[in-house]
């Protein structure tokens, strides 16, 4: 038997694992997505302003960056159909947006490649969060969401064009996680490129997502040589 602790010493008791409930996951997702929608808008906005101010082409980066922030906003709008933020949450989002937007704004002016790299790592965290959620679902710890009668929001079914029979909460999280994996690969790829002269390898992919998929399955993104090789052919 372990010896009795001396009187006055702090004893750290092991607490039982408390899985997060569905509303707790939604708070996390909503907060995460309000932050995730910022970098693409800042980077796309700054590149747009630079292009019209300097009368220069942008090598096609703007569309992909704005598309990313639109996609993140769709994640947010989907979760908002399931969770209504209270006053504290709104205040937190307001403050976080003010700080993060302005930090990203200055950061992107100073070093866009650093910002893309940072966003790549943040997206990796997002992939990890959604993977953990899927794991919890598979372990039966989120019964509301695995209930066969649970309906996901229509906005999500329409946006991802989710097929009949594949419209469960698990399917929805898989779609969102795939988006995050794509953002991760895209941002690491953009971080690998020359910020002024290199082309955006994903510009043609908005109608044909094959290259985006390649980035989604390469967590570190595409190497600069791979991108430039495509354009030298
Ligand atoms: Fe997201
Ligand atoms: Fe993302």
For the chain, the average pLDDT equals 91
Residue 8 C-alpha to ligand 2 middle, in angstroms?
A: 48
Nearest to 226 by CA among 208, 201, 204, 196: 201
State the Cα–Cα distance between residues 83 and 79, nearest whole angstrom: 6
Determine the distance separating the centroid of ligand 2 and the alpha carbon of 215, expressed in angstroms: 13
The pocket of ion ligand 1, defined by CB under 5 A, consists of 33, 36, 72, 75
pLDDT given at position 153: 97
What is the average per-residue pLDDT within 51-71? 94
Residue 125 pLDDT exceeds 80: yes
pLDDT value of position 108: 98
Q: Does domain 22-227 have CATH number 2.60.40.790?
A: no
The pLDDT, as a whole number, for residue 116 is 98
Residue 78 CA: distances (Å) to CA of 39, 155, 159, 173, 176: 20, 6, 10, 11, 10
């Amino acid at each position: 038997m372990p010896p009795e602790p001396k009187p006055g010493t702090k004893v750290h008791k092991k607490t039982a694992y408390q899985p997060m409930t569905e509303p707790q996951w939604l708070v996390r997702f909503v907060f995460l997505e309000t932050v995730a929608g910022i970098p693409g808008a800042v980077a796309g906005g700054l590149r747009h302003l630079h292009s019209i101010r300097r009368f220069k082409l942008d090598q096609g980066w703007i569309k992909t960056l704005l598309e990313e922030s639109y996609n993140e906003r769709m994640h947010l709008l989907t979760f908002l159909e399931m969770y209504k933020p209270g006053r504290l949450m709104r205040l937190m989002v307001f403050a976080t947006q003010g700080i993060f937007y302005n930090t990203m704004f200055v950061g992107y002016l100073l070093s866009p490649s650093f910002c893309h790299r940072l966003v790549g790592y943040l997206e990796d965290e997002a992939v990890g969060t959604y993977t953990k959620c899927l794991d919890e679902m598979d372990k039966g710890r989120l019964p509301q969401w695995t209930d066969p009668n649970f309906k996901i929001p229509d906005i999500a079914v329409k946006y991802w064009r989710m097929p009949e029979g594949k419209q469960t909460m698990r399917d929805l999280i898989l779609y969102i996680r795939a988006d995050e994996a794509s953002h991760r690969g895209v941002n690491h790829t953009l971080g690998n490129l020359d910020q002024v002269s290199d082309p955006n390898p994903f510009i043609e992919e908005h109608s044909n997502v094959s290259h985006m998929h390649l980035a989604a399955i390469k967590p570190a993104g595409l190497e600069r040589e791979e991108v430039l090789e495509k354009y030298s052919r």
